[in-house]
Amino acid sequence: MSRARKPDWLKSRPPSGQEFAGIRETLREHDLHTVCEEANCPNLGECWSGRSGPDGSDGRGGTATFMLMGDRCSRACNFCDVQTGGMGALDPDEPENVADAVAEIGLDYVVLTSVDRDDLPDQGAGHFAETIREIKARHPGILVEVLIPDFQGEPKLVRKIIDAEPDVIAHNVETVERLQFPVRDRRAGYEQSLSVLEQVERESDIYTKTSIMLGHGEYDHEVYQTLADLRERGVDIVTLGQYLRPSRDHLEVRRYDHPDKYETWRRVAEEELGFLYCASGPMVRSSYKAGELFVDAVLREGKSVAAARADARRTEPRQTES
Known binding positions: 36, 41, 47, 73, 77, 80, 287
Known binding residues for [4Fe-4S] cluster:
36, 41, 47, 73, 77, 80, 287
For 259, other C-beta atoms within 10 Å of its C-beta total 16
Cβ contacts of 183 within 8 Å, gap of 6 or more = 77, 78, 79, 174, 175, 213, 216, 251
Name the nearest CA neighbour of 173 among 188, 160, 159, 162.
188
Q: For residue 218, give the 3-state DSSP assignment.
A: coil
Cβ contacts of 67 within 8 Å, gap of 6 or more = 33, 34, 35, 38, 113, 114, 115
**Which residues are 73's β-sheet partners?**
84
Provide the greatest CA pair distance for the chain: 53
d(CA 69, CA 85): 13
Cβ contacts of 132 within 8 Å, gap of 6 or more = 112, 144, 146, 161, 164, 165, 166
Q: Degrees (nearest 5) of the Cα angle 286, 290, 295? A: 90
CB-neighbour burial class of residue 45 (10 A; exposed 0-12, middle 13-18, buried 19+): middle
